[in-house]
Amino acid sequence: MSDGASTGIGQDVGKDPFSVLTLQVEAAIRQDGDGWVVYSTDERAAEAYRRRYDEEAPALADFLQKARANTRYFRRLAERSRVHAEEVLRKRNGSDD
């Protein structure tokens, strides 16, 4: 079992709706001595958040909150990218529907 959950998705770049930049954002939890550490990284794998807990339950709650927020963000990003790609294709095909 992995000690982290990763979420990644493509994002369109430039004028071509099919050129894709993959973003990887990670939320993770790990046991550290007698406590727990929750952290997240940005798309460059730079640590964006870090918090240490003495007890497991609040650490797990924080980790789940981060993982769920990442999932919601990337779902919205995917939907915007899909809509944008459809608009570009309609314009290329000369269709206004």
Total of domains in the chain: 1
Domain assignment present for 82: yes
Domain assignment present for 95: no
Domain assignment present for 23: yes
Q: What is the pTM of this model?
A: 0.57
Question: Tens digit of pLDDT per residue, the chain (97 long)?
Answer: 344 444 444 444 444 444 444 556 688 899 989 999 999 887 777 888 899 999 999 999 999 998 888 777 778 888 888 888 888 888 888 865 5
Q: How many CB atoms lie within 10 A of CB 38?
A: 24
Between CA 97 and CA 93 the distance in angstroms is 11
Angle CA(89)–CA(96)–CA(80) in degrees, nearest 5?
50
Domain assignment present for 94: no
Domain range enclosing 29 = 4-87
